[in-house]
């Protein structure tokens, strides 16, 4: 059995109140990591905080507020005295025709999906570079690899996040900091609620996935833990696709 040896490490996970962010926070906490779980609404994290008493600490943070995002590393360092891992998971994906999208919505998507991860990476990165070690895990999307109609701004933002991951990994590799990305496809989360609640839509969606099912959020946990651990010290600038084979076919 592989041991991740994460006990005693400290992480920040954004968008941790639900879905893949929650799964990442839980997986890390189960490995002994102390997690600052950030979300717009602290109340949504209270159950998680109670379940992992002392290992998960809830923190209200709006990804649109740059100063709040930039302050997260200091909050962690003041609370736990160290910071080892950042999981940039928070994101928004408004659907609709590109011609109907106003500039304000485009700007919000870019602010949450690209700028906020960059701000957090920069402020956490100063600490990582000083200590000579650190892990940044960016949760992107297969839409950032291939693009998706009706999700133009989201696809563009996740594509930018993937290139940010690669460029930053090249810049910080010699400093002992690893930067990687995970590109999920369709997972059984609230983001897929409309599809999951419609048998017709669900079957149509599953026919596009060679595995003929959606992913379970908990399946991402082991990969997050691997990328957060010293086992991945020689892995940087990589994009790990988790989509049941959907992006591998015509």
Euclidean distance between CA atoms 71 and 120, whole angstroms: 8
Question: How many residues comprise the chain?
Answer: 250
Q: Is 226 one of the catalytic residues?
A: no
| Residue 33 backbone dihedrals phi, psi, to 5 degrees | -80, 140
Per-residue tokens: 71: 């302050």
Residue tagged active-site, from 154, 164, 172, 187: 154
Euclidean distance between CA atoms 13 and 217, whole angstroms: 15
Cβ atoms 12, 85 nearer than 8 A: yes
DSSP state of 12: E
Residue 69's Cα: distance from chain center in Å?
A: 14
Q: Helix, strand, or coil here: 21?
A: helix
Task: Count the Cβ atoms, other than its own, within 10 Å of residue 157.
Answer: 27
Give 139: exposed, middle or buried? Use CB within 10 Å, 0-12, 13-18, 19+.
Answer: buried
Per-residue tokens: 227: 């990328």
Euclidean distance between CA atoms 223 and 133, whole angstroms: 19
Please identify every residue annotated as catalytic. 154
């Amino acid at each position: 059995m592989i041991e991740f040896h994460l006990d005693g490490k400290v992480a920040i996970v954004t968008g941790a109140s639900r879905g893949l962010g929650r799964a990442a926070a839980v997986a890390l906490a189960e490995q002994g990591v102390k997690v600052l779980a950030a979300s717009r609404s602290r109340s949504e994290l209270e159950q998680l905080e109670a379940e992992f008493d002392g290992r998960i600490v809830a923190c209200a943070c709006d990804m649109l507020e740059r100063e709040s995002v930039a302050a997260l590393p200091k909050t962690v360092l003041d609370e736990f005295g160290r910071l080892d891992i950042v999981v940039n998971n928070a994101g928004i994906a408004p659907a609709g025709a590109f011609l109907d999208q106003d500039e304000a919505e485009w700007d919000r998507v870019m602010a949450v999906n690209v700028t906020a991860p960059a701000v957090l990476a920069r402020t956490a990165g100063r600490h990582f570079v000083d200590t000579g070690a650190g892990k940044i895990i960016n949760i992107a999307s297969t839409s950032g690899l291939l693009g998706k109609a009706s999700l133009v701004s989201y696809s563009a933002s996740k594509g930018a996040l993937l290139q940010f991951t690669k460029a930053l990994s090249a810049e910080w590799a010699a400093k002992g900091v690893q930067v990687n990305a995970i590109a999920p496809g369709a997972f059984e989360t609230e983001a897929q609620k409309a599809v999951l609640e419609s048998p017709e839509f669900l079957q149509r969606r599953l026919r596009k996935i060679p595995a003929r099912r959606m992913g379970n959020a908990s399946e991402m946990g082991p990969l997050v833990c691997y990328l957060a651990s010293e086992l991945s010290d020689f892995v940087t600038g990589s994009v790990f696709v988790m989509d049941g084979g959907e992006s591998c076919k015509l």
